[in-house]
Structure 1
Amino acid sequence: MLIRQAVRGDETAIRAVHMAAFAQPGLTTVPEAVLVDGLRADEDLIPALSLVAEHNGEVAGHACSSPALLGDDSKSALGFGPLGVLPEFQRRGAGSALVHATLEAADALGFALVVLLGDPGYYRRFSFVPAEQLGITPPEPEWAPHFQARTLSAHKPENCGAFQYAPAFERL
């Protein structure tokens, strides 16, 4: 499995990954696919943090990050996700590789925090903790049990406050 930065021309494969990864019976619109399209249209996908997992030359997974507002700070935090992997590659390390690559790249870029809404059982292995432990509040209070953050090297105690995702998240 090769992890690389997404490039122009990957858009259709990336959309297919999210459509398949989050498919549900009776659901014709997959919010995660719509979200990635919206982030791309708004130019809110951070190129160095839009990563694909490639298997035998085919895109098998995708993870992306977008700018976020933390309190009045627009430079320290990232919104992570969605993370999607084709069903036939799930539980084979592609998702973990994408998360690790994202965290390493975000750290190298000088970000202080990566924040996400996801399954605590899955993200705990990457040292994510409930965001409230770091003084970060979710946009929606009912998200708190699944709203998590991971500190990076540049983190400081003052990196806290109300978290706001990029505008595409609000349009879902």
Structure 2
Amino acid sequence: MDDVTLMLRPETPGDAEAVAAVHRAAFPAPEGAEEPVEVGLVDALRSGGHLIDGLTLVAEVDDRVVGHVACSRGVVAGSAAAVGIGPIGVLPDVQGRGVGAALMTTVVRLATESGETLLALLGDPAYYGRFGFVPSTDVGVEAPDPAWGVHFQALPLATDHPRGPFTYPPPFSAL
């Protein structure tokens, strides 16, 4: 980023309010709601113990949290461990400057190093394809909602990755 140092690190309990501020700024609130669903989702994932320590990251510039990616424990075929990525948010004033890409690249690297076998997310194929994500059905993983089509994507990190229906942790069901 232009003459500033971007630092990525694992989320800590003291980051909760700064993370909420990132998601409030990055996502619109639905009509009639006070804040974006992403804020409540991250809070529910955190309070339910679903966030994966060491993979859920914040991005900082000059000690200011400017980005966040949540990684939670999903399952494939009812029991095989996988990582659900999202939400990922970046403050509007630093969007388009590589913060989101740095978060994604780092999550993929750390997940690979820690022995994870599959990452999954819901998002824009044009964006996430550059990190190696493909439509989940291309690698034998079924979306929680078939209507998501090519927007539900997966990145196998092992040749023996799990196959079958993907399930996010319970807070996603409340959306």
TM-score range normalised by the length of the shorter chain:
over 0.9
- AA aligned opposite 1:132: T
Gaps of 5+ in 1: none
Deviations along 1:19-54, one digit per CA (max 9) or x if unpaired, are 110025855231111110010010000111110100
Change (3 A) 1:162 1:25: closer
Task: Report the 3-state secondary structure (helix = DSSP H, G, I; strand = E; otherwise coil) of the residue aligned with 2:107.
Answer: helix
Structure-1 separation of matches of 2:88 and 2:21? 13
Aligned length: 169
1:31 matched to 2:34? The reply is no
TM-score, normalisation: structure 2: 0.92
Q: Which moved more, 1:64-73 or 1:23-32?
A: 23-32
Structure 1 position 156, deviation (Å): 1.1
Match 2:61 to one of 51, 55, 59: 55
TM-score, normalisation: structure 1: 0.94
Structure 1 position 147, deviation (Å): 0.3
1:87 matched to 2:92? The reply is yes
> In 2, are the aligned partners of 1:52 and 1:63 still within 8 Å (CA)?
yes
Deviations along 1:45-90, one digit per CA (max 9) or x if unpaired, are 0111110100000100000111111003332x11001100000010
Q: Which moved more, 1:16-25 or 1:82-91?
A: 16-25
- AA aligned opposite 1:156: D
Structure-2 separation of matches of 1:119 and 1:99? 13
Aligned residue in 2 for 1:5: 10
Q: Percent identical across equivalent pairs?
A: 43
Aligned residue in 1 for 2:160: 156
Gaps of 5+ in 2: 1-5
- AA aligned opposite 1:3: L
- AA aligned opposite 2:47: A
Task: Report the 3-state secondary structure (helix = DSSP H, G, I; strand = E; otherwise coil) of the residue aligned with 1:68.
Answer: strand
Aligned residue in 1 for 2:75: 69
> In 1, are the aligned partners of 2:30 and 2:36 still within 8 Å (CA)?
no
Deviations along 1:122-162, one digit per CA (max 9) or x if unpaired, are 1011010000001111111101221000111x3416x2100
> In 2, are the aligned partners of 1:113 and 1:155 still within 8 Å (CA)?
no
